Chain A
Amino acid sequence: NAGVTQTPKFQVLKTGQSMTLQCAQDMNHNSMYWYRQDPGMGLRLIYYSASEGTTDKGEVPNGYNVSRLNKREFSLRLESAAPSQTSVYFCASSEAGDQNTEAFFGQGTRLTVV
Chain B
Amino acid sequence: RKEVEQDPGPFNVPEGATVAFNCTYSNSASQSFFWYRQDCRKEPKLLMSVYSSGNEDGRFTAQLNRASQYISLLIRDSKLSDSATYLCVVNMLGSARQLTFGSGTQLTVLP
Hey, which bits of chain A sit against chain B, CB under 8 A? 31, 33, 35, 40-45, 48, 50, 56, 58-59, 90, 94, 99-103, 105-108
A33 touches B98 (CB 8 A): yes
Instruction: List which B48-102 residues lie within 8 A (CB) of chain A.
Output: 49, 87, 91, 93, 96-102
A107 touches B42 (CB 8 A): yes
A-B contact sample (9 more), CB < 8 A, given A43-B101, A106-B43, A107-B42: A31-B98, A42-B4, A45-B99, A48-B97, A90-B44, A99-B93, A102-B34, A105-B44, A107-B43
A105 touches B97 (CB 8 A): no
Q: Which of A42, A59, A108 contacts B43 (CB 8 A)?
A: A108
Instruction: List which B16-64 residues lie within 8 A (CB) of chain A.
Output: 31-32, 34, 41-46, 49
Hey, which bits of chain B sit against chain A, CB under 8 A? 4, 8, 31-32, 34, 41-46, 49, 87, 91, 93, 96-104
Inter-chain CB contacts under 8 Å: number? 56
Most buried by B among A43, A44, A107: A43
B97 touches A59 (CB 8 A): yes
A90 partner residues in chain B, CB cutoff 8 A = 43-44
Closest B residue to A96 by CB, please name it. Answer: B98
B42 touches A56 (CB 8 A): no
Q: Which of B41, B87, B91 contacts A42 (CB 8 A)?
A: B87
Complex CA distance for A4 and B41, rounded to whole angstroms? 16
